[in-house]
Amino acid sequence: MAVIDLLELPALLAPYAPIVGLDLGEKTIGVAVSDATRTVASPLELIRKVKFTDDAAALFKLMESRGAAGIVIGLPINMDGTEGPRCQSSRAFGRNLLRLKDIPIAFWDERMSSMAVNRVLIDEADVTRARRADLVDKMAAAWILQGALERLRSAA
């Protein structure tokens, strides 16, 4: 299977199969999961990057435990709409996942997701800097996935 357009994703999934969202960082992968109705995204886990095959195995194990059947990867597009090296890295991560497992993968523009999550954690939750470091990537993954779920809902 190839990387697909987000709007094609629901047709390729079994009914009530959750979707995972990923926020790819340099050292970690934030993972979020949707509910079975694909309405709400929730932060799930933080995978500390080791090497790609180990990272992918940890991701697939999480997906299997939740019955998730599709992936939305945050695409860090520049503010001017161009794609830089981080986008290329995210796209390569998606292609490499496809080499290991035939699974539908779509991308979602993640501009400002980490900044928005940090703002919520500081302003509304009064979370310490140390605790934010552990939360921000998986919460950013939920932010990314929630945006994708809302786009899917508005297109239905």
Tokens, residue 131: 């605790």
d(CA 93, CA 24): 9
| 111: pLDDT strictly greater than 80 | no
* Beta partners for residue 29, in sequence order: 24, 47
> HSE on the CB side for 106, CA within 13 Å?
24
* Residue bearing the bigger pLDDT, 111 or 145: 145
pLDDT in tens, 51-72: 999 999 999 999 999 999 999 9
**What pLDDT is recorded for position 77?**
84
